[in-house]
Every structure is written in structure tokens, then in C-alpha cells.
């Protein structure tokens, strides 16, 4: 790996503490923890993890850029879908992992313009630091906006999560000629090291054994993402769940061409594959297995309402019409917006790798965002 930018001393100290916490846990667990636990601690250990300690930054100055940070048109397009769901079912909006609050701001602004503001916009945010940023940005919508520490017991309306499922801990499995192995983490010479254990029973084994994966593959399975969707299915009374993320259906996820999995780390706009680098200072993600998400949702009583690429979804939601609101004659306003739309839609950038899945209950009308280019049959 080429040298990455050096952290400042305070950040380095956080990382040293995070690494020490993980090492202690490995020791008390007898020398080995599943990779999913390593990822959970590196991202979410209270006060230390990447997402809970406020080390992460969104946007150009941070570690990665998400679609809502690229363009306000993303949230405005999503608002067209939100307006349809709220129009059909009434109810509220619940956003999971709202980041800087940018998506909430653009969605609410557009819903206000459409005269379809929900009574409440709930934000489930685990980071105190991000919550403060969101409060500042969403001040204008203050009476409607409410922060939650945990998921509500029941909900009707629209649940949204952009790049949330990819941030959930994954297990790593090695499919080998001599059987299944779970890849975990141990400590050797004061460093974290990969260490495999045979996998012969349990939920992870059942899923790994049921997949059609050629020996020689090492890839991820997210029990956490499945569990999260099952929880959402249990609390949704009526309405839709919209999850946007990078990933594919199982055929592509476990394709021989992707035999070393999809785990990826982001540190100041460098993408690399070493999750042991500076724990707590970098993001760790994996692509989303949308087949697993759909199957879990369906087995917990949800209907699959649509699955398509981000490009198709945004076009179906009218993003090009939204762009046309800016006059091409005013080049200084129009050209940056056109470049942003290009980034969101271009198959070589976010258009094709990013997908949108909608699951729901009591929604009988076809959803706007999946009117053309629905790929549900590919799951």
C-alpha cells in the first residue's frame, strides 16, 4: 500500500486507544474475534469508533463523498418519491444515519416547495457530534425535526437510509476445498493479523453453505444488515423502506471475478483494503448483497416494491427536470449542477454501482422511482 496521509497527534492517540481496546477484547476472547466484531469496534466503539467519536468528516475535506454531498438534486429527486409515498399513506419520514444532514435538508426543502411536508422528520443518529451539525443545518425546519437514539416501536410512512447498510459490520467467510472457514482477527507481534477458524454450524454457516460460491473465494456476509432489515420490517405498520447503497445481487456479489470480496476502507479519499490501518480513523465498508436484503425483507412480511440502479431511480424521479429548473443560459449556476448530475448518473461513476431497493407494507401503487429499468428479477 502506498503511504497514506499522516494523522495529527490527537487523532493518532485516538487510534492507539481504539487499537488497545480491540486488542484487550481479542485477549479476553481467548485470542480471536470474528472480523465483524473488529469492524463493529473500529466503527462504533463508544467514544472511540470512527462513527461514534466524531473522527469522520463528510465531503471534500473528509474521507469520502456521498451522493447527498455531491448535489442537492439528489435529495430533491428523492423528495419526489417521498411525496408519492406520503401521498399514498400519509405518515412521516425516518432517516437512518443522516450524516451531515444534507439529505434531510434537501428533501425537506423540496417537500416544502411541493406543499407536502410531513408532520415529522425523524433522524436516527448515533454520533453526538453529527447530531449537532444536523441541528444547525435543519434549524429552519425545527418544529418538525426530531432526533431519535433508537428505532421507534412502530412507524408509518417512509424510512430512508443512504449508505447505511454498507457501514454495518460484516463477517468474512473463506470457501475452501477443505470446507468453510470464518476469517477473524488475532494479535501477532503486537499487530492485528488475519486468522481463520473452521465454520461448521450456526447462522453464518447456514448462509455460507447455502450460497453457490466456488472454492477459493473469500467474501463477506452481513448478518447485521439482515438483522436491521428484519427489525425495520417488524416496526413498519404501513409505508416503504428505501435503501440506497453500492452493491449488487448475489450472482454478481459472489461472482468468481470478485473472489476476494468487497471490503474497502476509506481514509482521506484514499480507498484501500487494509482494515487494520489506523483503527477508528478510517471508514470500513463492504458492498451490499441486495438479494439477501430483499429475501430478509420478504421473509419478514415486506413486499419488494422495486430494485434498480441509482441512475434509473433518479431519472424516474425526474432529476433531469429538476436540473432544467436552472437556466442553461446562466452557465455559472447550470454547469456545476450538470456536472453533479453527470457524477450521480454516469455508469462509470455512481450511476450503475449504486442501487436503490424499496421494500414495503400496504403500498399497492407502483413506485415512481422504479417505473422504468426495474431490476427486481436480478435479485
Ligand X SMILES: C[S@@+](CC[C@H](N)C(=O)[O-])C[C@H]1O[C@@H](n2cnc3c(N)ncnc32)[C@H](O)[C@@H]1O
Q: Per-residue x/- mask for ligand X, residues 47 to 76, rule CB under 6 A?
A: ----x------x-------x-xx-------
33 closest CA partner among 195, 246, 269, 239: 195
Q: Cell 457524477 maps to which residue?
A: 343
Helix or strand run (H / E) with residue 136? helix 128-137
Q: How far apart are alpha carbons 81 and 306 in whole angstroms?
A: 12
At residue 297, the 3 state secondary structure works out as: helix
Least CB distance from residue 207 to ligand X, whole Å? 19
How many Å is the maximal CA-CA distance in the chain? 67
Out of 53, 77, 86, 124, the residue judged to bind ligand X by CB under 6 A = 124
Residue nearest to ligand X (CB): 97
Q: Strands of the chain (E only): list them.
A: 33-34, 92-96, 121-124, 145-148, 155-162, 171-176, 179-188, 191-198, 217-221, 236-248, 264-267, 270-272, 283-285, 288-289, 303-309, 354-361
Sheet holding 270-272, edge to edge: 270-272, 264-267, 283-285
Contact 284, 275 (CB under 8 A): yes
Question: 63 or 374: whose CB is closer to ligand X?
Answer: 63
Binding mask 156-185 for ligand X (x = CB under 6 A): ------xxx--xx-----------------
- Nearer to ligand X by Cβ, of 163 and 374: the residue is 163
Q: How far is the CB of 61 from ligand X (least distance, A)?
A: 14
CB 65 within 8 A of CB 71: no
Identity of the residue, 138 or 164, whose beta carbon is nearer to ligand X in the bound complex: 164
Q: How many residues bind ligand X (CB under 6 A)?
A: 17
DSSP conformation letters of 227-294: HHHHHHHHHEEEEEEEEEEEEE-HHHHT-GGGTT---EEEETTEEES-TTSSTTTSEEE--EEHHHHH
State in angstroms the smallest separation of the CB of 150 from ligand X.
9
3-class state of residue 124 by DSSP = strand
Minimum gap (Å) between residue 85 Cβ and ligand X: 18
| Nearer CB in complex with ligand X: 134/195 | 134
Residue whose CB is less far from ligand X, 199 or 369: 369
106 is an interface residue for ligand X by CB under 6 A:
no
Nearer to ligand X, 97 or 360 (CB): 97
CB contact at 8 A, 159 and 240: yes
Rounded Cα gap, residues 241 and 321, in angstroms: 25
Nearest CB to ligand X, comparing residues 288 and 341? 288
Contact between 282 and ligand X by CB under 6 A: the answer reads no
Show the site string, 179-218: x = touches ligand X by CB under 6 A, - = not: ----------------------------------------
126 part of the interface to ligand X, by CB under 6 A: yes
> Please, which residue, 163 or 289, has the CB nearer to ligand X?
163
Q: Is the dihedral of CA 244, 247, 248, 249 positive or negative?
A: negative
- Minimum CB distance to ligand X smaller for 133 or for 213: 133
> What residues between 84 and 103 interact with ligand X by CB under 6 A?
96-99
Least distance from C-beta 176 to ligand X, angstroms?
30
Please give the residue ranges that form the binding site for ligand X (CB under 6 A): 51, 58, 66, 68-69, 96-99, 124, 126, 162-164, 167-168, 228
Amino acid at each position: 500500500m502506498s503511504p497514506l496521509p499522516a494523522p495529527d497527534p490527537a487523532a493518532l492517540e485516538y487510534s492507539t486507544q481504539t487499537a488497545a481496546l480491540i486488542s484487550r477484547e481479542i485477549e479476553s476472547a481467548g485470542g480471536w474475534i470474528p472480523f465483524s466484531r473488529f469492524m463493529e469496534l473500529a466503527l462504533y466503539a463508544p467514544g472511540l469508533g470512527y462513527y461514534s467519536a466524531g473522527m469522520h468528516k463528510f465531503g471534500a475535506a473528509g474521507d469520502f463523498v456521498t451522493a447527498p454531498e455531491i448535489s442537492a438534486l439528489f435529495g430533491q429527486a428523492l423528495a419526489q418519491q417521498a411525496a408519492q409515498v406520503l401521498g399514498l399513506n400519509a405518515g412521516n419520514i425516518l432517516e437512518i444515519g443522516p450524516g451531515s444532514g444534507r439529505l434531510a435538508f434537501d428533501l425537506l426543502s423540496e417537500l416544502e416547495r411541493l406543499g407536502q411536508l410531513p408532520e415529522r422528520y425523524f433522524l436516527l443518529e448515533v454520533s453526538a457530534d453529527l447530531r449537532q451539525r444536523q441541528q444547525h443545518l435543519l434549524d429552519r425546519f425545527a418544529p418538525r425535526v426530531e432526533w431519535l437514539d433508537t428505532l421507534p416501536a412502530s412507524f408509518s410512512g417512509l424510512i430512508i437510509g443512504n449508505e447505511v447498510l454498507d457501514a454495518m459490520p460484516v463477517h468474512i467467510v473463506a470457501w475452501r476445498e477443505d470446507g468453510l472457514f470464518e476469517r477473524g482477527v488475532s494479535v501477532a507481534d503486537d499487530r492485528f493479523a488475519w486468522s481463520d477458524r473452521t465454520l461448521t454450524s450456526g447462522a453464518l454457516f447456514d448462509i455460507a453453505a447455502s450460497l453457490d460460491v466456488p472454492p477459493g473465494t473469500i467474501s463477506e456476509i452481513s448478518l447485521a444488515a439482515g438483522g436491521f432489515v428484519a427489525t425495520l420490517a417488524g416496526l413498519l405498520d404501513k409505508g416503504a423502506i428505501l435503501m440506497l447503497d453500492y452493491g449488487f445481487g448475489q450472482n454478481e456479489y459472489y461472482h468468481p471475478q470478485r473472489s476476494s470480496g468487497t471490503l474497502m476502507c476509506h481514509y482521506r479519499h484514499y480507498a484501500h483494503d487494509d482494515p487494520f490501518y489506523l483503527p477508528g480513523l478510517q471508514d470500513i465498508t463492504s458492498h451490499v448483497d441486495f438479494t439477501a436484503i430483499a429475501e430478509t425483507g420478504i421473509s419478514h412480511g415486506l413486499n419488494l416494491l422495486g430494485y434498480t440502479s441509482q441512475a434509473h431511480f433518479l431519472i424516474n424521479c425526474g432529476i433531469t427536470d429538476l436540473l432544467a429548473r436552472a437556466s442553461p443560459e446562466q452557465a455559472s449556476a447550470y454547469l456545476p449542477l450538470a456536472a453533479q448530475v453527470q457524477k450521480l448518473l454516469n455508469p462509470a461513476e455512481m450511476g450503475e454501482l449504486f442501487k436503490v431497493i424499496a421494500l414495503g407494507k400496504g403500498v399497492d401503487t407502483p413506485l415512481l422511482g422504479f417505473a422504468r429499468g426495474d431490476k427486481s428479477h436480478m435479485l
